[in-house]
Structure 1
Amino acid sequence: MSRPKPSASVEGFALIDVLVGLALVGVISSLMIVFLGQARTMMRIQTTTEMQIEADAASRFLETAISGAEPLPLSKSSPENVVYLSGDSARIEFNGVQAIGFRSSALREIAISLGSGDSDGQAGNALAIVQKLRRGSETGKFVDSEPVRLITGVTAVKFEYLDGSAGATSWSASWSAQRRLPSAVRFTISVVRDGATYSSSGFARLDLANTPAQRSN
Protein backbone atom coordinates (compact mmCIF):
# COMPACT_ATOMS: atom_id res chain seq x y z
CA MET A 1 0.00 0.00 0.00
CA SER A 2 1.50 3.32 -1.09
CA ARG A 3 1.64 6.30 1.26
CA PRO A 4 0.36 9.75 0.08
CA LYS A 5 3.02 12.34 -0.59
CA PRO A 6 2.92 15.43 1.66
CA SER A 7 1.14 18.29 0.00
CA ALA A 8 2.88 21.09 1.97
CA SER A 9 6.02 22.57 0.44
CA VAL A 10 8.67 24.92 1.85
CA GLU A 11 8.76 28.21 -0.02
CA GLY A 12 11.88 30.49 -0.10
CA PHE A 13 12.09 34.30 -0.25
CA ALA A 14 11.39 35.77 -3.62
CA LEU A 15 13.82 38.33 -5.08
CA ILE A 16 11.25 41.09 -4.59
CA ASP A 17 11.09 40.29 -0.86
CA VAL A 18 14.84 40.64 -0.53
CA LEU A 19 14.83 43.96 -2.39
CA VAL A 20 12.02 45.34 -0.24
CA GLY A 21 13.87 44.32 2.91
CA LEU A 22 17.09 45.99 1.74
CA ALA A 23 15.16 49.14 0.87
CA LEU A 24 13.61 49.26 4.35
CA VAL A 25 17.03 48.79 5.96
CA GLY A 26 18.41 51.64 3.82
CA VAL A 27 15.54 53.97 4.77
CA ILE A 28 15.91 53.19 8.47
CA SER A 29 19.70 53.69 8.30
CA SER A 30 19.24 57.06 6.57
CA LEU A 31 16.75 58.18 9.20
CA MET A 32 19.12 57.11 11.96
CA ILE A 33 22.01 59.05 10.40
CA VAL A 34 19.85 62.18 10.13
CA PHE A 35 18.63 61.75 13.71
CA LEU A 36 22.14 61.26 15.11
CA GLY A 37 23.39 64.28 13.17
CA GLN A 38 20.59 66.43 14.56
CA ALA A 39 21.25 65.10 18.07
CA ARG A 40 24.95 66.01 17.82
CA THR A 41 24.02 69.47 16.54
CA MET A 42 21.61 69.99 19.43
CA MET A 43 24.27 68.87 21.92
CA ARG A 44 26.77 71.34 20.44
CA ILE A 45 24.20 74.13 20.64
CA GLN A 46 23.36 73.22 24.23
CA THR A 47 27.05 73.14 25.21
CA THR A 48 27.71 76.47 23.50
CA THR A 49 24.71 78.03 25.21
CA GLU A 50 25.77 76.73 28.62
CA MET A 51 29.33 78.04 28.21
CA GLN A 52 28.09 81.46 27.06
CA ILE A 53 25.66 81.61 29.99
CA GLU A 54 28.52 80.79 32.36
CA ALA A 55 30.70 83.56 30.89
CA ASP A 56 27.82 86.06 31.03
CA ALA A 57 27.07 85.10 34.64
CA ALA A 58 30.69 85.85 35.61
CA SER A 59 30.39 89.24 33.90
CA ARG A 60 27.17 90.09 35.72
CA PHE A 61 28.81 89.17 39.04
CA LEU A 62 31.76 91.46 38.29
CA GLU A 63 29.44 94.30 37.31
CA THR A 64 27.59 94.05 40.62
CA ALA A 65 30.74 93.74 42.73
CA ILE A 66 32.66 96.60 41.05
CA SER A 67 29.69 98.97 40.94
CA GLY A 68 29.51 98.76 44.74
CA ALA A 69 33.13 99.82 45.31
CA GLU A 70 33.50 101.95 48.44
CA PRO A 71 35.65 105.12 48.67
CA LEU A 72 37.89 103.66 51.38
CA PRO A 73 41.70 103.26 51.44
CA LEU A 74 43.20 99.97 50.35
CA SER A 75 45.52 98.17 52.76
CA LYS A 76 48.54 99.02 50.60
CA SER A 77 47.80 102.75 50.90
CA SER A 78 50.09 105.05 52.84
CA PRO A 79 49.42 108.47 54.38
CA GLU A 80 51.15 110.02 51.39
CA ASN A 81 49.43 107.85 48.80
CA VAL A 82 45.82 107.00 49.70
CA VAL A 83 44.28 104.81 46.99
CA TYR A 84 40.65 103.71 46.93
CA LEU A 85 40.86 101.52 43.83
CA SER A 86 43.91 100.04 42.15
CA GLY A 87 43.85 98.28 38.83
CA ASP A 88 45.43 97.52 35.50
CA SER A 89 44.24 95.64 32.45
CA ALA A 90 44.45 92.22 34.16
CA ARG A 91 43.73 92.97 37.84
CA ILE A 92 41.49 95.17 39.98
CA GLU A 93 41.42 95.81 43.75
CA PHE A 94 38.81 97.74 45.72
CA ASN A 95 36.79 97.77 48.94
CA GLY A 96 33.23 96.52 48.79
CA VAL A 97 30.45 94.90 50.76
CA GLN A 98 30.20 91.15 50.18
CA ALA A 99 27.69 88.56 51.36
CA ILE A 100 29.18 86.29 54.05
CA GLY A 101 26.15 84.22 54.95
CA PHE A 102 22.40 84.10 54.96
CA ARG A 103 21.14 87.69 54.95
CA SER A 104 24.53 88.88 56.23
CA SER A 105 27.26 90.98 54.63
CA ALA A 106 30.52 92.69 55.55
CA LEU A 107 33.08 95.08 54.16
CA ARG A 108 35.95 93.31 52.40
CA GLU A 109 38.95 94.30 50.34
CA ILE A 110 38.49 92.49 47.04
CA ALA A 111 41.08 91.54 44.42
CA ILE A 112 40.05 90.01 41.08
CA SER A 113 42.63 88.62 38.66
CA LEU A 114 43.68 85.63 36.57
CA GLY A 115 45.26 82.66 38.29
CA SER A 116 45.78 78.93 37.92
CA GLY A 117 42.56 76.94 37.81
CA ASP A 118 43.96 74.02 39.81
CA SER A 119 47.14 73.35 41.71
CA ASP A 120 48.32 71.11 38.87
CA GLY A 121 47.27 73.64 36.25
CA GLN A 122 45.16 71.12 34.38
CA ALA A 123 42.03 73.29 34.42
CA GLY A 124 43.78 76.21 32.74
CA ASN A 125 43.56 79.79 33.92
CA ALA A 126 40.68 80.90 36.10
CA LEU A 127 39.27 84.30 36.88
CA ALA A 128 39.43 84.30 40.66
CA ILE A 129 38.42 86.59 43.52
CA VAL A 130 40.37 86.98 46.77
CA GLN A 131 38.92 88.79 49.78
CA LYS A 132 41.05 90.33 52.50
CA LEU A 133 39.23 89.83 55.76
CA ARG A 134 39.67 92.32 58.58
CA ARG A 135 40.75 90.61 61.79
CA GLY A 136 39.07 92.26 64.74
CA SER A 137 38.86 96.02 64.63
CA GLU A 138 42.57 96.78 64.37
CA THR A 139 43.30 99.01 61.42
CA GLY A 140 45.59 97.45 58.86
CA LYS A 141 45.06 93.88 60.07
CA PHE A 142 44.04 91.84 57.02
CA VAL A 143 43.96 88.13 56.27
CA ASP A 144 43.72 86.84 52.70
CA SER A 145 41.02 84.28 52.05
CA GLU A 146 41.48 81.38 49.65
CA PRO A 147 40.92 82.34 45.97
CA VAL A 148 37.41 81.58 44.75
CA ARG A 149 37.16 80.71 41.06
CA LEU A 150 34.51 82.63 39.17
CA ILE A 151 35.09 80.85 35.86
CA THR A 152 37.82 78.57 34.47
CA GLY A 153 39.36 78.35 31.02
CA VAL A 154 39.88 82.11 30.85
CA THR A 155 42.56 83.04 28.32
CA ALA A 156 42.36 86.81 28.76
CA VAL A 157 40.65 89.51 30.78
CA LYS A 158 40.85 93.23 30.08
CA PHE A 159 39.79 95.98 32.48
CA GLU A 160 39.51 99.64 31.49
CA TYR A 161 38.80 102.66 33.69
CA LEU A 162 36.90 105.87 32.99
CA ASP A 163 37.97 109.07 34.75
CA GLY A 164 34.87 111.25 34.99
CA SER A 165 36.55 114.14 36.79
CA ALA A 166 36.92 117.51 35.05
CA GLY A 167 34.86 116.29 32.12
CA ALA A 168 37.36 113.58 31.12
CA THR A 169 35.82 110.91 28.90
CA SER A 170 38.81 108.75 27.91
CA TRP A 171 39.31 105.15 29.02
CA SER A 172 42.68 104.11 30.46
CA ALA A 173 44.31 100.71 30.97
CA SER A 174 45.20 101.38 34.62
CA TRP A 175 43.96 103.27 37.67
CA SER A 176 45.85 104.52 40.71
CA ALA A 177 44.42 108.00 41.30
CA GLN A 178 44.60 109.18 44.89
CA ARG A 179 41.37 109.45 46.86
CA ARG A 180 39.22 108.94 43.78
CA LEU A 181 37.22 106.11 42.27
CA PRO A 182 36.81 105.84 38.51
CA SER A 183 33.38 106.78 37.22
CA ALA A 184 33.05 103.43 35.47
CA VAL A 185 34.91 100.21 34.74
CA ARG A 186 34.41 98.12 31.64
CA PHE A 187 35.90 94.73 30.93
CA THR A 188 36.00 91.79 28.54
CA ILE A 189 36.44 88.11 29.44
CA SER A 190 37.64 85.54 26.87
CA VAL A 191 37.09 81.85 27.61
CA VAL A 192 38.19 78.77 25.66
CA ARG A 193 36.40 75.45 26.20
CA ASP A 194 36.81 72.35 24.02
CA GLY A 195 38.47 74.38 21.29
CA ALA A 196 35.70 76.98 21.13
CA THR A 197 36.11 80.61 22.22
CA TYR A 198 33.47 82.52 24.17
CA SER A 199 33.54 86.21 25.03
CA SER A 200 31.54 88.31 27.46
CA SER A 201 31.70 92.03 28.20
CA GLY A 202 30.58 94.06 31.19
CA PHE A 203 30.14 97.66 32.27
CA ALA A 204 30.06 98.79 35.91
CA ARG A 205 29.14 102.36 36.85
CA LEU A 206 30.53 103.14 40.30
CA ASP A 207 27.72 104.62 42.36
CA LEU A 208 30.02 106.29 44.91
CA ALA A 209 32.59 107.71 42.49
CA ASN A 210 31.65 111.35 43.08
CA THR A 211 30.23 111.39 46.58
CA PRO A 212 31.47 113.59 49.44
CA ALA A 213 32.20 110.40 51.39
CA GLN A 214 35.55 110.13 49.63
CA ARG A 215 37.99 111.12 52.32
CA SER A 216 40.85 109.35 53.99
CA ASN A 217 40.19 107.25 57.06
Structure 2
Amino acid sequence: MCPHGRAKPSASVEGFALIDVLVGLALVGVISSLMIVFLGQARTMMRIEKTTQMQMEVDAALRFLETAISGAEPLPLSKSSPENVVYFSGDSARIEFNGIQAIGFRSSALREIAISLGTDGSDGQVGNALAIVQKPRRGSETGKSVDSEPVRLIAGVTAVKFEYLDGSAGAKSWSANWTAQRGLPSAVRFTISVARDGATYSSQGFVRLALANTPAPR
Protein backbone atom coordinates (compact mmCIF):
# COMPACT_ATOMS: atom_id res chain seq x y z
CA MET A 1 0.00 0.00 0.00
CA CYS A 2 1.33 3.45 -0.86
CA PRO A 3 2.12 6.02 1.89
CA HIS A 4 -1.11 7.94 1.31
CA GLY A 5 -3.31 4.91 1.84
CA ARG A 6 -4.08 4.20 -1.87
CA ALA A 7 -3.53 0.74 -3.33
CA LYS A 8 -0.79 0.42 -5.95
CA PRO A 9 -2.08 -0.85 -9.32
CA SER A 10 -1.26 -4.48 -9.85
CA ALA A 11 1.12 -5.07 -12.77
CA SER A 12 -0.13 -8.64 -13.06
CA VAL A 13 -3.70 -7.50 -13.84
CA GLU A 14 -2.48 -5.28 -16.70
CA GLY A 15 -0.28 -8.15 -17.99
CA PHE A 16 -3.19 -10.61 -18.13
CA ALA A 17 -5.29 -8.12 -20.11
CA LEU A 18 -2.55 -7.76 -22.72
CA ILE A 19 -2.12 -11.53 -22.98
CA ASP A 20 -5.86 -11.94 -23.52
CA VAL A 21 -5.73 -9.51 -26.44
CA LEU A 22 -2.72 -11.25 -27.98
CA VAL A 23 -4.30 -14.69 -27.60
CA GLY A 24 -7.51 -13.41 -29.18
CA LEU A 25 -5.63 -11.96 -32.13
CA ALA A 26 -3.71 -15.19 -32.56
CA LEU A 27 -6.93 -17.22 -32.58
CA VAL A 28 -8.47 -14.87 -35.14
CA GLY A 29 -5.40 -15.29 -37.34
CA VAL A 30 -5.47 -19.09 -37.06
CA ILE A 31 -9.20 -19.24 -37.83
CA SER A 32 -8.77 -16.87 -40.77
CA SER A 33 -5.94 -19.01 -42.17
CA LEU A 34 -8.03 -22.16 -41.80
CA MET A 35 -10.97 -20.50 -43.52
CA ILE A 36 -8.80 -19.40 -46.43
CA VAL A 37 -7.46 -22.95 -46.82
CA PHE A 38 -10.95 -24.43 -46.52
CA LEU A 39 -12.45 -22.05 -49.11
CA GLY A 40 -9.57 -22.74 -51.49
CA GLN A 41 -10.09 -26.49 -51.17
CA ALA A 42 -13.85 -26.08 -51.61
CA ARG A 43 -13.36 -24.10 -54.83
CA THR A 44 -10.93 -26.71 -56.09
CA MET A 45 -13.37 -29.52 -55.33
CA MET A 46 -16.17 -27.63 -57.11
CA ARG A 47 -13.97 -27.18 -60.20
CA ILE A 48 -13.05 -30.86 -60.16
CA GLU A 49 -16.70 -31.88 -59.78
CA LYS A 50 -17.78 -29.58 -62.60
CA THR A 51 -15.01 -30.86 -64.87
CA THR A 52 -15.92 -34.45 -64.09
CA GLN A 53 -19.60 -33.84 -64.80
CA MET A 54 -18.81 -32.14 -68.12
CA GLN A 55 -16.50 -34.95 -69.20
CA MET A 56 -19.17 -37.48 -68.25
CA GLU A 57 -21.67 -35.59 -70.42
CA VAL A 58 -19.31 -35.76 -73.40
CA ASP A 59 -18.60 -39.45 -72.79
CA ALA A 60 -22.34 -40.20 -72.49
CA ALA A 61 -22.98 -38.58 -75.89
CA LEU A 62 -20.25 -40.73 -77.42
CA ARG A 63 -21.62 -43.94 -75.88
CA PHE A 64 -25.05 -43.10 -77.30
CA LEU A 65 -23.56 -42.56 -80.76
CA GLU A 66 -21.60 -45.82 -80.56
CA THR A 67 -24.76 -47.75 -79.70
CA ALA A 68 -26.82 -46.10 -82.44
CA ILE A 69 -24.22 -46.48 -85.21
CA SER A 70 -23.41 -50.10 -84.32
CA GLY A 71 -26.98 -51.07 -85.22
CA ALA A 72 -26.92 -49.59 -88.74
CA GLU A 73 -29.04 -51.70 -91.12
CA PRO A 74 -28.17 -52.47 -94.78
CA LEU A 75 -31.33 -50.76 -96.05
CA PRO A 76 -31.69 -47.95 -98.61
CA LEU A 77 -31.82 -44.39 -97.35
CA SER A 78 -34.77 -42.27 -98.44
CA LYS A 79 -32.53 -40.23 -100.73
CA SER A 80 -31.57 -43.35 -102.70
CA SER A 81 -32.67 -43.89 -106.27
CA PRO A 82 -32.84 -47.09 -108.34
CA GLU A 83 -29.54 -46.09 -109.96
CA ASN A 84 -27.86 -45.06 -106.70
CA VAL A 85 -28.87 -47.19 -103.73
CA VAL A 86 -27.15 -45.93 -100.57
CA TYR A 87 -27.30 -47.75 -97.24
CA PHE A 88 -24.99 -45.42 -95.35
CA SER A 89 -23.88 -41.85 -95.98
CA GLY A 90 -21.35 -39.80 -94.07
CA ASP A 91 -18.74 -37.08 -94.10
CA SER A 92 -16.58 -35.54 -91.39
CA ALA A 93 -19.49 -33.71 -89.71
CA ARG A 94 -22.63 -35.67 -90.70
CA ILE A 95 -23.72 -39.29 -90.76
CA GLU A 96 -26.93 -40.96 -92.02
CA PHE A 97 -28.13 -44.55 -91.77
CA ASN A 98 -31.14 -46.75 -91.04
CA GLY A 99 -31.43 -48.47 -87.70
CA ILE A 100 -33.80 -50.04 -85.21
CA GLN A 101 -34.38 -47.61 -82.36
CA ALA A 102 -36.26 -47.94 -79.09
CA ILE A 103 -39.44 -45.84 -79.11
CA GLY A 104 -40.97 -46.88 -75.81
CA PHE A 105 -41.05 -49.57 -73.18
CA ARG A 106 -40.21 -52.86 -74.93
CA SER A 107 -40.97 -51.28 -78.28
CA SER A 108 -38.76 -50.42 -81.24
CA ALA A 109 -39.11 -49.33 -84.85
CA LEU A 110 -37.12 -48.71 -87.99
CA ARG A 111 -35.79 -45.16 -88.18
CA GLU A 112 -33.69 -43.22 -90.64
CA ILE A 113 -31.14 -41.51 -88.43
CA ALA A 114 -29.13 -38.38 -89.21
CA ILE A 115 -26.50 -37.04 -86.82
CA SER A 116 -24.94 -33.68 -87.62
CA LEU A 117 -23.42 -30.51 -86.26
CA GLY A 118 -25.55 -27.38 -86.40
CA THR A 119 -25.67 -23.86 -85.02
CA ASP A 120 -26.81 -23.72 -81.39
CA GLY A 121 -28.24 -20.52 -79.97
CA SER A 122 -29.84 -21.97 -76.85
CA ASP A 123 -28.75 -21.77 -73.23
CA GLY A 124 -26.14 -19.17 -74.10
CA GLN A 125 -23.70 -21.91 -75.09
CA VAL A 126 -20.72 -21.14 -77.28
CA GLY A 127 -20.32 -23.06 -80.52
CA ASN A 128 -22.60 -25.60 -82.14
CA ALA A 129 -24.81 -28.44 -81.03
CA LEU A 130 -24.53 -32.07 -82.07
CA ALA A 131 -28.07 -33.16 -82.87
CA ILE A 132 -29.88 -36.30 -83.99
CA VAL A 133 -32.94 -36.57 -86.24
CA GLN A 134 -34.90 -39.82 -86.32
CA LYS A 135 -37.35 -40.06 -89.21
CA PRO A 136 -39.90 -42.89 -89.16
CA ARG A 137 -39.75 -45.14 -92.19
CA ARG A 138 -42.66 -46.91 -93.82
CA GLY A 139 -41.17 -50.30 -94.50
CA SER A 140 -37.92 -50.22 -96.46
CA GLU A 141 -39.14 -48.33 -99.51
CA THR A 142 -36.97 -45.46 -100.65
CA GLY A 143 -38.31 -41.96 -100.87
CA LYS A 144 -40.79 -42.47 -98.03
CA SER A 145 -39.92 -40.72 -94.79
CA VAL A 146 -41.51 -38.30 -92.35
CA ASP A 147 -39.81 -35.14 -91.13
CA SER A 148 -38.78 -35.08 -87.48
CA GLU A 149 -37.47 -32.35 -85.21
CA PRO A 150 -33.77 -32.54 -84.28
CA VAL A 151 -32.94 -33.53 -80.72
CA ARG A 152 -29.82 -31.99 -79.23
CA LEU A 153 -27.32 -34.53 -77.92
CA ILE A 154 -24.80 -32.06 -76.54
CA ALA A 155 -24.26 -28.30 -76.81
CA GLY A 156 -21.15 -26.14 -77.06
CA VAL A 157 -19.48 -28.44 -79.61
CA THR A 158 -16.45 -26.78 -81.18
CA ALA A 159 -15.37 -29.70 -83.37
CA VAL A 160 -16.59 -33.09 -84.50
CA LYS A 161 -14.89 -35.52 -86.86
CA PHE A 162 -16.23 -38.80 -88.27
CA GLU A 163 -14.05 -41.26 -90.14
CA TYR A 164 -15.00 -44.49 -91.91
CA LEU A 165 -13.16 -47.75 -92.52
CA ASP A 166 -13.79 -49.84 -95.63
CA GLY A 167 -12.98 -53.45 -94.78
CA SER A 168 -13.93 -54.87 -98.17
CA ALA A 169 -11.38 -56.16 -100.67
CA GLY A 170 -8.59 -55.85 -98.14
CA ALA A 171 -8.87 -52.06 -97.80
CA LYS A 172 -7.68 -50.89 -94.37
CA SER A 173 -7.52 -47.11 -94.68
CA TRP A 174 -9.75 -44.56 -92.92
CA SER A 175 -11.68 -42.07 -95.04
CA ALA A 176 -13.38 -38.76 -94.24
CA ASN A 177 -16.33 -39.66 -96.48
CA TRP A 178 -18.54 -42.68 -97.08
CA THR A 179 -20.60 -42.80 -100.28
CA ALA A 180 -20.34 -46.46 -101.29
CA GLN A 181 -23.43 -47.98 -102.85
CA ARG A 182 -25.14 -50.88 -101.10
CA GLY A 183 -22.50 -51.07 -98.41
CA LEU A 184 -21.80 -50.27 -94.78
CA PRO A 185 -18.40 -49.25 -93.44
CA SER A 186 -16.69 -51.87 -91.30
CA ALA A 187 -16.12 -49.33 -88.54
CA VAL A 188 -16.61 -45.70 -87.65
CA ARG A 189 -14.44 -43.62 -85.35
CA PHE A 190 -15.14 -40.09 -84.24
CA THR A 191 -13.94 -37.29 -81.99
CA ILE A 192 -16.02 -34.64 -80.23
CA SER A 193 -14.67 -31.48 -78.60
CA VAL A 194 -16.83 -29.31 -76.34
CA ALA A 195 -16.03 -25.89 -74.84
CA ARG A 196 -17.55 -24.88 -71.51
CA ASP A 197 -16.53 -22.02 -69.19
CA GLY A 198 -13.17 -21.54 -70.86
CA ALA A 199 -12.23 -25.24 -70.78
CA THR A 200 -12.26 -27.80 -73.60
CA TYR A 201 -13.37 -31.40 -73.18
CA SER A 202 -12.68 -34.04 -75.81
CA SER A 203 -13.50 -37.70 -76.19
CA GLN A 204 -12.98 -40.33 -78.87
CA GLY A 205 -15.43 -43.02 -79.94
CA PHE A 206 -15.05 -46.18 -81.99
CA VAL A 207 -17.65 -48.67 -83.16
CA ARG A 208 -17.76 -51.73 -85.39
CA LEU A 209 -20.88 -52.11 -87.48
CA ALA A 210 -22.45 -55.45 -86.68
CA LEU A 211 -23.92 -55.96 -90.15
CA ALA A 212 -20.90 -54.88 -92.19
CA ASN A 213 -19.48 -57.59 -94.42
CA THR A 214 -15.93 -57.52 -93.10
CA PRO A 215 -14.85 -57.02 -89.46
CA ALA A 216 -12.50 -54.09 -89.00
CA PRO A 217 -9.36 -53.83 -86.89
CA ARG A 218 -9.14 -50.87 -84.56
- TM-score of the aligned structures, taking structure 2 as reference length: 0.87
Q: How many residues align?
A: 202
Distance across 1 between alignment mates of 2:212 and 2:140: 26
Query: Counterpart of 1:50?
Result: 53
Q: Deviations over 1:40-89 (max 9, x none)?
A: 00000000000000000000000000010000011111111111000000
Query: Counterpart of 2:125?
Result: 123
Distance across 2 between alignment mates of 1:203 and 1:138: 30
Q: Deviations over 1:77-112 (max 9, x none)?
A: 111111100000000000001111111110000000
Alignment match of 2:179 (pick from 173, 176, 187) = 176
In the alignment, residue 179 of structure 1 is paired with which amino acid? R
Distance across 1 between alignment mates of 2:211 and 2:131: 24
**Any conservation in 1 of the 2:80–2:143 contact (CA below 8 Å)?**
no
Q: Which moved more, 1:128-137 or 1:74-83?
A: 128-137
Q: CA deviation at 1:171?
A: 0.1
Q: Deviations over 1:134-164 (max 9, x none)?
A: 3588752211211111111111110000000
Provide the secondary structure at the position in 1 that maps to 2:63: helix
Runs of 4 or more above 3 Å deviation: 135-139
Query: Counterpart of 1:83?
Result: 86
Provide the secondary structure at the position in 2 that maps to 1:111: strand
Alignment match of 2:190 (pick from 183, 187, 190) = 187
Alignment match of 2:110 (pick from 103, 107, 127) = 107
Q: Percent identity?
A: 85
Structure 1 residues without counterparts, runs of 5 or longer? 1-8, 212-217
Distance across 1 between alignment mates of 2:147 and 2:103: 15
Query: Counterpart of 2:153?
Result: 150
Distance across 2 between alignment mates of 1:38 and 1:105: 48
| 1:19-34 equivalent positions in 2, closer than 5 A | 19-34=22-37
* 1:70 matched to 2:36: no
Distance across 2 between alignment mates of 1:86 and 1:140: 15
Structure 2 residues without counterparts, runs of 5 or longer? 1-8
Provide the secondary structure at the position in 2 that maps to 1:177: coil
Distance across 2 between alignment mates of 1:115 and 1:140: 24
Query: Counterpart of 1:95?
Result: 98
Distance across 1 between alignment mates of 2:20 and 2:188: 74
- TM-score of the aligned structures, taking structure 1 as reference length: 0.87
Q: CA deviation at 1:133?
A: 1.6
Alpha-carbon RMSD across the aligned residues, in angstroms, is 2.1
Provide the secondary structure at the position in 1 that maps to 2:98: strand
**Any conservation in 2 of the 1:117–1:149 contact (CA below 8 Å)?**
no
In the alignment, residue 191 of structure 2 is paired with which amino acid? T
Distance across 2 between alignment mates of 1:179 and 1:136: 17
* 1:133 matched to 2:136: yes
In the alignment, residue 108 of structure 1 is paired with which amino acid? R
CA change 1:137–1:209 in 2 (3 A) is closer
